[in-house]
């Protein structure tokens, strides 16, 4: 079995949930997955749970050489989530 190229960009699939606080929306939980479908499914499920007002599923690409992470590419946005300008 071939080893993954250590210099290849790494893709992270994230589900991020939000709660409502006095100052506005606040990030509550973050989950990382190995596929876009898993992150989307979790965001949908979390957005319907008690106390959660919304959830995002997104992907980011990490450069393994510099450690820099690019801007998020949203896969799904459920419920009450921050405006895109807030990122």
Give the pair of three-digit tokens for residue 47: 């957005």
Give the pair of three-digit tokens for residue 48: 């319907």
Q: What string of DSSP letters covers 21-56? A: ETTEEEEEEEEEESSHHHHHHHHHHHHTSTT--EEE
Interval 36-62: pLDDT, tens = 999 999 999 999 999 999 999 999 999
- Tell me whether residue 2 is in a domain: no
Q: Which pLDDT does position 87 carry in this prediction? A: 59
- Tell me whether residue 4 is in a domain: no
More confident residue, 87 or 9: 9
Please determine, for residue 31, whether its predicted confidence score (pLDDT) is greater than 70.
yes
**Number of domain units in the chain:** 1
Q: Which pLDDT does position 37 carry in this prediction? A: 98
Please determine, for residue 5, whether its predicted confidence score (pLDDT) is greater than 80.
no
Longest CA pairwise span in the chain (Å): 52
- Tell me whether residue 87 is in a domain: no
Q: Is this model's pTM higher than 0.75 or not?
A: yes
The domain of 58 spans 10-79
């Amino acid at each position: 079995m071939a080893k993954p190229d250590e210099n290849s960009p790494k893709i992270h699939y994230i589900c991020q949930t939000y709660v409502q606080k006095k100052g506005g929306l606040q990030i509550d939980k973050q989950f990382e997955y190995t596929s876009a479908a898993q992150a989307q499914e979790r965001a949908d499920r979390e957005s319907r749970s008690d106390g959660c007002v919304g959830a995002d599923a997104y992907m980011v690409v990490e450069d393994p050489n510099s450690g820099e992470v690019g801007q998020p590419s949203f896969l799904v946005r459920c419920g009450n989530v921050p405006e895109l300008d807030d990122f």
